Structures are given as structure tokens and as C-alpha cells.
């Protein structure tokens, strides 16, 4: 079966593990109330906004260089930035 054997082996292992865990420790599923998870949702929202803002902030120089100087100079700038960051 070629590479499909690797995929099916992983899926089979995970499925068997899940069935055994449910069989040994059966627990019911419930839908959480918004009032119970409100704080976690608010924290997650703040984290997502902060990470998106950081991504935009840390990559804005590439946008400026690409728009002002063109794609060739952007490639040189990216290479120089990566070399400088590696040191």
C-alpha cells in the first residue's frame, strides 16, 4: 500500500487508543456554558489580537521595503536581515 500504510497505521493506533480510553474511563460529554468559559475566551481573544499585532509590527519593514524598492531589493534585505539575526 506504499505510503498509505504509514497513514493508516497512525490512524489505527490513534483510534485504538481512543477506544480503549473511552472503554476504561467512560465520561459523558457536555457543552460548556458561556458563563463558565467567559474568562478563558476573553484571554484567548486578547492573546490572538496581541499576536496578530506583533506579526504586523515585526513584518511591516518587509512591506515598506518591498513597496518602495521592489522585489529584488526585498530579497537582498531579507537575506541580510536573516544573516544579521543569525549572528
Classify the C-alpha dihedral 25-31-35-40 as positive or negative.
positive
62 touches 75 (CB < 8 A): no
Mean pLDDT of all residues belonging to the chain: 93
Q: Give this prediction's pTM.
A: 0.56
* Whole-angstrom distance, CA of residue 9 vs CA of residue 20: 17
* Spatial CA neighbour of 85 closest among 53, 56, 61: 61
Number of domains observed in the structure of the chain? 1
Percent of the chain residues topping a pLDDT of 70: 100
User: By residue range, what is the domain housing residue 22?
Assistant: 4-27+34-86
pLDDT in tens, 17-57: 999 999 998 888 788 898 999 999 999 999 999 999 999 99
pLDDT score at 29: 79
Amino acid at each position: 500500500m506504499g505510503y498509505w500504510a504509514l497513514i493508516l497505521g497512525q490512524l489505527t493506533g490513534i483510534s485504538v487508543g481512543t477506544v480503549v480510553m473511552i472503554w476504561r474511563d467512560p465520561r459523558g460529554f457536555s457543552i460548556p456554558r458561556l458563563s463558565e468559559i467567559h474568562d478563558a475566551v476573553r484571554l484567548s481573544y486578547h492573546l490572538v489580537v496581541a499576536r496578530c499585532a506583533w506579526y504586523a509590527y515585526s513584518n511591516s519593514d518587509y512591506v515598506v521595503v518591498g513597496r518602495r524598492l521592489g522585489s529584488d531589493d526585498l530579497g537582498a534585505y531579507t537575506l541580510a536581515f536573516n544573516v544579521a539575526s543569525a549572528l
